[in-house]
């Protein structure tokens, strides 16, 4: 009998027509939409595309963007909605990290080596970037470090570049955002200055010089 009641209630829920969230004006609609975004992201293991969210909620992408901005401005929520390109995912709020570590009995987080952090920074700030470009900046072979970062889910292959050899281009992942408590790549801090040099400009220049050298070599061949 109980199973029948549950099945009937579930069927009734599925037969209901969701009221478009645009029907709620101003902040009321935004707060409702933000709550729905949390729920949708919670049941989607790999996050959700904005277009898919817009279709499910019968609202526009711009309004979803407004809801994300509103959500990020709320200081007391236990979760954050992270933006990775056109994909949205949910994660625990950085302020709750200490309690989560206690609950899961995580005495300390697995640390990245200096080489891994250096490589990850290059990928984060210069993506999409190839292995040879990373090697040019670091001055050493980065194959092993890239494999480690890939195995930890911090970087991913974005595709292949239309160049000689079709090298793989790498970028960061949602797991990268979670690890560093970022809502999106827009939250990456500026690299700043080291020895009077702007590191972001130095990285870009090193990669540009490498690409120019490879292009000249290809032309000569």
Coil, helix or strand at residue 18: coil
Mean pLDDT, the chain, whole residue set = 80
* pLDDT band (50, 70, 90) for residue 12: very low
Distance from C-alpha of 161 to C-alpha of 156, rounded to nearest angstrom: 14
- Of 72, 85, 76, nearest in space to 37 by CA: 72
Averaged over 44-49, what is the pLDDT? 86
More confident residue, 146 or 137: 146
Burial of 167-189, coded b for 16+ CB within 10 Å and e otherwise, reads: ebbbbbbbbbbbbeebbebeeee
**Which domains are delineated in the chain?**
16-97 (1.10.10.10), 114-220 (1.10.10.10)
Residue 65 above 80 pLDDT? Answer: yes
* 54: phi then psi, degrees, rounded to nearest 5: -60, -40
Asked which of 15-29, 31-45, 110-124 is least confident by mean pLDDT, the reply is 15-29
Both tokens assigned to 104: 């899961």
pLDDT, mean of residues 100-125: 81
Q: How far is CA 108 from the centre of its chain?
A: 23
Residue 103 phi, psi (nearest 5) = -60, -45
Which pLDDT tens digit goes with each residue over 117-133? 989 999 999 899 999 99
pLDDT of residue 214: 60
Query: Is the sign of the CA dihedral 51, 53, 58, 62 positive or negative?
Result: negative
Dig out the tokens for 74 from the structure: 């709320």
Tokens of 71: 């959500």
- Reply yes or no on whether the pLDDT at 10 is more than 90: no
User: Which residue from 195, 27, 209, 38 is spatially nearest to 132, judged by alpha carbons?
Assistant: 209
User: What pLDDT does 7 receive?
Assistant: 43
Q: For residues 44 and 111, which has the higher predicted lDDT (pLDDT)?
A: 44
Q: DSSP readout, 166-179?
A: -PEEEEE-HHHHHH
Contact yes or no for 168/155 (Cβ under 8 A) = no
What pLDDT sits at residue 14? 42
What confidence tier does 54 reach under pLDDT thresholds 50, 70, 90?
Answer: very high
pLDDT on residue 141 = 93
* Average pLDDT for 196-214: 63
Residue tagged 């239309």 (tokens) = 162
């Amino acid at each position: 009998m109980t199973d029948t009641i549950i099945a009937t209630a579930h069927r009734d829920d599925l037969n209901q027509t969701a009221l478009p969230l645009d029907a709620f004006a101003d902040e009321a609609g935004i707060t409702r939409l933000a709550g729905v975004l949390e729920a949708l992201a919670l049941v989607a293991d790999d996050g959700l595309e904005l277009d898919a969210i817009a279709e499910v909620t019968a609202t526009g992408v711009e309004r979803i963007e407004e809801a994300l901005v509103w959500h990020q401005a709320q200081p007391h929520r236990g979760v954050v909605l992270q933006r990775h390109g056109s994909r949205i995912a949910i994660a625990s709020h950085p302020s709750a990290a200490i309690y989560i570590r206690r609950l899961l009995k995580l005495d300390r987080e697995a640390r990245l080596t200096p080489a891994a952090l250096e490589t990850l920074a290059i990928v984060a700030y210069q993506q999409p970037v190839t292995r040879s470009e990373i090697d040019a900046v670091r001055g050493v072979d980065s194959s092993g470090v890239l494999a480690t970062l890939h195995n930890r889910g911090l970087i991913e292959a974005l595709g292949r570049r239309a160049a000689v050899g079709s090298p793989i281009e790498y970028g960061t992942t949602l797991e990268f955002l979670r690890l560093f408590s970022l809502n999106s790549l827009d939250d990456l801090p500026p690299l700043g200055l080291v020895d009077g040099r702007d590191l972001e400009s130095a990285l870009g220049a090193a990669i540009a010089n490498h690409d120019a050298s490879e292009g000249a070599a290809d032309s000569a061949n």
